[in-house]
A and B are shown apart, each in its own frame.
Chain A
Amino acid sequence: MTSPGRALAALVSIAGVATSLAACGSDASGAEKLTVYSAQHESLVRAMLEGFTEETGIALEFRDANDSELANQIVQEGEASPADVFLTENSPSIDVVDKAGLLAPLDPSTLEQVGEQYRPESGTWVGFAARSTVLIYNPAEISEDELPGSMLDLAGPEWQGRVGIAAGGADFQAIVSAVLALQGEDATREWLTGLERNSEIYASNTAIMKAVDEGEVPVGITYHYYWYRDQAENGLIGDDAKLHYFGNQDPGAFVSISGAGVLASSDQPEEAQRLVAYLTAEAAQEKLAESSALEYAVGTGVASAEALPPLESLGAPAVDPGSLNAPQVTELMQEVGLL
């Protein structure tokens, strides 16, 4: 090689090193900053934690993504995970991290702030919000007495091409995990096989609401708050749609819990515990109830938003939040071709 070639090479390596150094430098983290992996809606989490930094002097940095993505990411990261606190939208994902032994026990005082049915026996995570499964429907496309009595009926041949679901989303996968816990593997596989034939796949619950509103599909499986939120704002997307609650302990009345936990590998365990305590305390729970999030508060003695039917009135099936099996749901959904 000619010598300019060699000099060129040297120049290139210097440039390379300099760039990567510059890039690394910007990542240096200050003290007292918690890294929060959050799969819950940004607006809800920010509203509930408003004032936390001011009160405690602890800064927060969020990594927002999907439930399963973050859970599997934490499991892969293992002990090296940069996360201090994990907030999920649905409990199956925090359970994945729990089963991998990566969560630290929560302070008993934190656990006591939340009703027993909203946390697992292990005491390694705690619910901080709840949401109910609903069937959203368009009254112009389907009359009330044609609506199914159970969510499991949607696998029947008469529903072909008529059910909107967000199969790729964590919400729908949490609902499947409840079906799995309540009905067992074979019944769930059968249900999913029917749904695979019957369903129109949408990218999100909002997209389902819009599709139902516009009459693309008569019904969709979703959570309650998307519609309530839209109503509270302006009803632009979902004003022609209505909600149908299955009740009667049907799997379709499943109430999904958003979980919060502290990573055992956190280098700031005290601050992390403080964050979870803050999130489940009365003040933050009341903020949730007052916010436009319209999910259910789970703090003991805190009433949820007035617009919502009371959580106790929904006839939700009893599901142990520690028993939902996300990996098996993924396998089943891959098996029937929904993923």
Chain B
Amino acid sequence: MTLALAICVAALALLPLGYIAAATVDVGWAGVRELVFRPRVGELLWNTSRLVLGTVAVCAVLGVSAAWLAERSSVPGRRLWHVLMVAPLAVPAFVNSYAWISLLPGLDTYAGALLVVSLSYFPFVYLPVAATFRGLDPALEDTARGLGLSSWAVFRRVQLPQLRVALLGGSLLVALHLLAEFGALQMLRYPTFTTAIYDQYRATFNGAGATMLAGVLVVLCLGLLLAELRLRGRHGYARTGAGAARPVRPVRLGALTVPALAALAALVGLALVVPLGSLAYWMAAGASSGLDGSALMATTGTTLGLAAAAAAVATAMALPTGWLAVRARGRVATLLERSTYLGSAVPGIVVALALVTLSIRATPWLYQTVPVLLAAYAILFLPRAVVTVRAAVEQSPPVYDDVAASLGASAPDRLRRITLPLLAPGIGAGAALVFLAVVTELTATLLLAPTGTTTLATAFWSASSALEYGAAAPYAVVMVLLSAPATVLLSRNARRGLTP
């Protein structure tokens, strides 16, 4: 029964991929040649790949340097810097983009796009790298230093190889997010596959042109996943026994302290102060044109309701998968678990496109309803729930259950009194992560929201697309306020030394 449910969940997660594959077969080779092998697709490919490569490089440099400074150097206020380096995650990329472009309209270039998305995404590299730094035994570094290596050589030859997995994982996250990014790049007038699919969708609804572009985008995503696996390689960096790590002795920056502080401050200024300042400016400017409080309240209510429902659905769906992955280890369980990850690597625009078409054709009674929107959220954010539920199951030994059974407790009783209480923290954390992701989801919501349903993200989007920056600001502020707690949570987790 659990297995059957887990299979259903995996099937749902893979639905968009299946749809794209089926549509490609449907269009046929001639159609694919006409729609894919054309100059426009080449242009988009060039735009998309140079932005992804550039952003990954910039994020890697920013993320690793900031993590080294915060974890291994003598820079003052390391705790504070750590929180500030994670804080940009509270500002959704499309809000950051709005903040910049509304102040500097000239940013609609490659360099502008690179700047804005890098500032939004570098914490994805910073977080795992900082956590890894914390987990590294400083003895290795001390030994290397004792053998005469400079700080730079220690970083390059000892630390960097051990950061490899975290760095690659972070970079993969950046790249996947970027391939899926719609709002930020549309606002910066930087066309990529995702924005082009949206334009096609607007012109033809779910026409073959949109679907084929989506096919190319999916191939790019899968290519990235494979590349990351290959690059990660088979080297192991674990060692036997935890050892007795000494506290880190920070590298003395000496005369470099001031430049290091200036660099960190500049990064925080660009990634945090500019967007928040811009929001404050537009809030003040928009206040004169009158803030529609009741619309804002209603939209916030709708958004919170959808997010709560999506969190419930996604965690419920994560339970069978997470349970099997631990309690019935094996190829099948791994395959089912990985399917949910694969499904969510597909960009939101593709998931939405697939669900629009499938719901019109196969389940017209579900078309344009909340369940379809929730299904999209579930597909997109399932891994967040699966990972946390799985970890919770991992930490609740089956022996409690067996003991309760031997004492005569019935299955529902054990579920209520043993299993669920043990899993509760994990379920709660997973639900919270999904909840927060839904609050700022834009792309899929734009395509799938039922008639009359407006969320914070779509209300913000329609106002800012009309260049009514003042009217858009309150929605952005609410989104940032709602995301802030998650950011604090993330930085705290890393503080405790939770390694990926």
Contacts and interface: CB of A to CB of B under 8 A. Distances in A.
A1 B2 contact: yes
Contacts of A69: 201-203, 205
Contacts of B1: 1, 5-6, 9-10
B368 interface: yes
Nearest to A168: B199
Interface stretch (B120-128, B262-270, B315-323): B315-323
B340 to A, nearest CB: 14
B142 interface: no
Given A7-B415, A204-B466, A337-B40, A15 B371 contact: no
B411 A7 contact: yes
Contacts of A201: 189, 191
A82 B368 contact: yes
Contacts of A170: 202
Contact of B105 (A24, A206, A216): A216
A6 B2 contact: yes
Interface string A211-254: 10010100000000000000000000100000000000000000
A27 B364 CA distance: 14
A333 B374 CA distance: 34
A61 interface: yes
A188 interface: no
Given A9-B320, A214-B105, A337-B43, A23 B370 contact: yes
A72 B319 CA distance: 39
A339 B207 CA distance: 12
A12 B327 contact: no
A339 B203 contact: yes
Nearest to A22: B309
A62 B412 contact: no
A77 B451 contact: no
Interface in B290-343: 309, 312-313, 316-317, 319-320, 323, 327-328
Contact of B415 (A11, A68, A337): A11
A63 B320 CA distance: 37
Contacts of A338: 40
A108 interface: no
B323 to A, nearest CB: 6
Interface string A7-31: 1111111011001101110110000
A8 B370 contact: no
B201 A23 contact: no
Nearest to B40: A337
B394 interface: no
Given A63-B451, A82-B368, A339-B40, A76 B415 contact: no
A173 B370 CA distance: 32
Contact of A62 (B312, B367, B452): B452
A204 B201 CA distance: 16
Contacts of B369: 23-24, 27
A24 B40 CA distance: 41
Contact of B316 (A16, A23, A27, A216): A16
Interface string B166-193: 0000000000000000000011010100
A109 interface: no
B360 interface: yes
A3 B323 CA distance: 13
A123 B2 CA distance: 58
A3 B411 contact: yes
A207 interface: yes
B401 interface: yes
Interface string A63-86: 100101101110111001010000
A61 B368 CA distance: 14
A9 B206 CA distance: 36
A199 to B, nearest CB: 12
Contacts of B323: 5, 8
Contacts of A4: 401, 411, 414-415, 418-419
A27 B467 CA distance: 32
Contact of A1 (B3, B309, B360, B364): B3
B451 A8 contact: no
A4 B400 CA distance: 12
A12 B320 contact: yes
Contacts of A11: 319, 415
B205 A76 contact: yes
Interface in B28-47: 35, 38-40, 43
A16 B313 contact: yes
Contacts of A76: 205-206, 357, 360
A2 interface: yes
B65 interface: no
Contact of B189 (A2, A202, A335): A202
Contacts of B327: 2, 5
A185 B415 CA distance: 69
B364 A80 contact: yes
B159 interface: no
26 contacts: A1-B328, A3-B411, A5-B323, A8-B415, A9-B4, A11-B415, A12-B5, A13-B5, A19-B316, A19-B374, A22-B309, A23-B374, A24-B370, A62-B452, A66-B202, A77-B360, A77-B364, A80-B364, A80-B367, A82-B368, A167-B199, A203-B189, A206-B467, A216-B106, A338-B40, A339-B203
Given A167-B199, A206-B467, A337-B38, 10 more contacts: A2-B327, A15-B313, A19-B309, A23-B369, A62-B452, A204-B467, A237-B467, A330-B204, A337-B39, A339-B200
Nearest 6 Cβ contacts at the A-B interface: A72-B205, A3-B411, A23-B370, A337-B40, A168-B199, A63-B451
Interface of B: 1-5, 35, 38-40, 43, 105-106, 186-187, 189, 191, 196, 198-207, 209, 309, 312-313, 316-317, 319-320, 323, 327-328, 357, 360, 364, 367-371, 374, 398, 401, 405, 411-412, 414-415, 418-419, 450-452, 465-467
Interface of A: 1-13, 15-16, 19-20, 22-24, 26-27, 35, 61-63, 66, 68-69, 71-73, 75-77, 80, 82, 167-170, 173, 201-204, 206-207, 210-211, 214, 216, 237, 330, 333-335, 337-339
